[in-house]
Amino acid sequence: MQPLRTKLFKGMNLTVFSLVMVFLYIPILILIIFSFNDARIVTGWQGFTLKYYKQLFQNRTIQEAFWNTMLIAGLSTLISTALGILTALGLENKRFTGRKGVLALIYTPLMMPDILMGVSLALLFNFTRVNTGMFTVLIAHITFCISYTAIVIQSRLEGFDYSLVEAAADLGARPSYIFWKIKFPLMMPGIIAAALLSFTLSIDDFIITFFTSGRGFDTLPIYVEGTIRRGTITTINSLSTLMIGFTLLLVVLTKRVRKIIISAM
């Protein structure tokens, strides 16, 4: 095939692409650089230091917030992925009489601004006089993760090759054997993608946690927002750099994860 004569657009697209890349990465780069800057406020370069990283590892509140975040993300990922797997298997049956209703129920939360889920859960917990804390945050995180896990796993099942299952059945394999030995392993990439997605969503969430956490239970985003509000920002840069580093490590180093992420998007 002869190449398209689209010089004009090609040049324009490359230009916009490069500009967007700069736009996406400049703030992050500055943040990383300034985490090593020996200045109390962010005004110019004052010399290299690691003291904010040291402070970070001495700060009890940050460590507690970190472990809270991991606990909530881990548990909500586990539960929402399990619920997602069950739902996806239920939706696999195209003649399922409740299929449309269940799909509508899963998709609706995605079409609403996060803040509405935060408000509605906050009022539910007030109405039922439930004390807010770790437990309510966990419930909230599972609630917003379910939709994502169910959809990701379900869309993976859509392109499922049933000939393997049929072949196994023809050869006399029992249903439980077929499920655990054939179907489940084939579902695995979808399950991993769903779990990764809900883990990141949980770590990232501010607003829903803000409405459901009450005093005394801080996750990292809640802690960071509070610190920015109080104006004591010196450790935030180093904390942020470590968190960015963690993401990069996860995305760049593991080829498998990268592939799964791309296919999940």
Partner 1 sequence: MSTSRHVIAEKKRNRSSWLLSLPTVIWLTIFFLIPYLVVIIYSFLTPDTYDVKFEVSFDAYRQIISGGYLKSFFQSFKLASITTLLCILLGFPVAYYIARANEKLKNILLIFIIIPFWTNLIIRIFSWRIFLSYSGVMNQMLMGAGLISQPLEILRTNTAVVLVMVYVYLPYMILPLYSVLEKLDFTLLQAAMDLGANEVKSFFKITLPLSVEGIFAGTLLVFIPALGAYLIPQLVGNQKSLYVGQIITYKIKNIPRNWPMASALSLTLLLLVALMLLIMYGMYRYHKNRRKY
Q: Rule CB under 8 A: which of 105-124 touch partner 1?
A: 105-106, 108-109, 111-117, 119-124
Q: How far is CA 249 from CA 51, 143, 178, 252, in A?
A: 23, 28, 36, 6
Q: Identify whether the C-beta of residue 220 lies closer than 8 Å to the C-beta of residue 66.
A: yes
Instruction: Report the residue from 46, 61, 63, 126 that binds partner 1 according to the rule CB under 8 A.
Output: 126
Q: Identify whether the C-beta of residue 186 lies closer than 8 Å to the C-beta of residue 85.
A: no
The mark string for 210-239 relative to partner 1 (x by CB under 8 A, - otherwise) is xx--------xx--xx--x----x--xx--
Q: Identify whether the C-beta of residue 76 lies closer than 8 Å to the C-beta of residue 149.
A: no
Could you please report the per-residue DSSP string of 131-199? PPSHHHHHHHHHHHHHHHHHHHHHHHHHT--HHHHHHHHHTT--HHHHIIIIIHHHHHHHHHHHHHHHH
48 phi and psi, to 5 degrees?
A: -80, 140
Instruction: Report the residue from 65, 73, 139, 232 that binds partner 1 according to the rule CB under 8 A.
Output: 139
Least distance (Å) from partner 1 to the CB of residue 94? Answer: 10
Least distance (Å) from partner 1 to the CB of residue 210? Answer: 8
Q: What angle do CA 107, 134, 73 make, to 5 degrees?
A: 55
Least distance (Å) from partner 1 to the CB of residue 55? Answer: 17
Instruction: Report the residue from 75, 165, 173, 250 that binds partner 1 according to the rule CB under 8 A.
Output: 250
Least distance (Å) from partner 1 to the CB of residue 191? Answer: 15
Q: Tell me the C-alpha distance between 169 and 163, whole Å.
A: 10
Cβ closer to partner 1: 59 or 120?
120
User: What amino acid is encoded at 173 in this protein?
Assistant: A
Task: Give, as ranges, the residues between 25 and 84 that touch partner 1 (CB under 8 A).
Answer: 25-28, 30-31, 34, 41-44, 83-84
Q: Tell me the C-alpha distance between 134 and 203, whole Å.
A: 14
Instruction: Report the residue from 74, 247, 249, 254 that binds partner 1 according to the rule CB under 8 A.
Output: 247
Q: Identify whether the C-beta of residue 134 lies closer than 8 Å to the C-beta of residue 69.
A: no
User: What amino acid is encoded at 229 in this protein?
Assistant: R
Binding segment for partner 1 (CB under 8 A), chosen from 70-78, 85-93, 157-165, 181-189, is: 85-93
Task: Give, as ranges, the residues between 172 and 201 that touch partner 1 (CB under 8 A).
Answer: 200
Binding segment for partner 1 (CB under 8 A), chosen from 47-55, 57-65, 166-174, 206-214, is: 206-214
Least distance (Å) from partner 1 to the CB of residue 229? Answer: 9
248 in contact with partner 1 (CB under 8 A):
yes
Give the total of residues touching partner 1 (CB under 8 A): 96
Cβ closer to partner 1: 166 or 204?
204
